Amino acid sequence: MLKKILYPVLLLLLTVSSQAQQLKLDINGTITFNSSDYMIKEAGKDFPSTINSASTIQLSISFINFWDKFFDSGKKWKIYVSKSDINWNQNINIEIARVGEGTSFRNGKRKRIIGGTQFRPILNTPVYFFRGQNEIFNIPVAFKVHGVSVTEGAQEIESVIMFTIYED
């Protein structure tokens, strides 16, 4: 009788303990640039060497696994960023930085974010951005653009920015 009860309980515990961490990364917002930053008011002048985003996007990291949410396990994660060019001018560079800490809804659990506060280039290969611990919501992220010039002529450029989250 004990074997019949013990076996299903052990199987359940093994299943719960072998769950892989499941992380969810949500991105909210739209990046905009102030049009006055890239207006030329005098003949012979060029665009500013750096154009800063006028808005931020917000990254939110949450756990999908019920047990991670329930026990607030303090799981660690790291985020990488990259871009995939659709129609891009190679003379133009885009940079990214984390400009805030975000919020956590767990009382008593310390949110922790490390790195990402200095602007760094976004490349076509994944680059480490920042890391953290626990669920954190609405982490503000800003962008900068360099290399835009009137000497390049009028053109449309487009690139997709990708964020990837990993267990740390």
Per-residue pLDDT of the chain (168 residues; tens, 9 = 90+): 444 444 444 334 433 433 445 888 999 998 888 776 667 777 777 777 788 888 999 999 988 876 666 666 678 899 999 999 999 889 889 999 999 999 887 655 667 899 999 999 999 999 999 999 888 999 999 999 988 877 777 788 889 999 999 988
From start to end of the chain, where are the E strands? Answer: 23-28, 50-52, 57-63, 76-87, 93-98, 112-114, 120-121, 127-133, 136-146, 158-167
User: What's this model's pTM, rounded to 2 decimal places?
Assistant: 0.79
pLDDT attached to residue 37: 66
Tokens at residue 57, please?
Answer: 């996007």
Q: How many CB atoms are closer than 10 A to CB 88?
A: 15
- Compute the distance between CA of residue 149 and CA of residue 47 in angstroms, rounded to an integer: 6
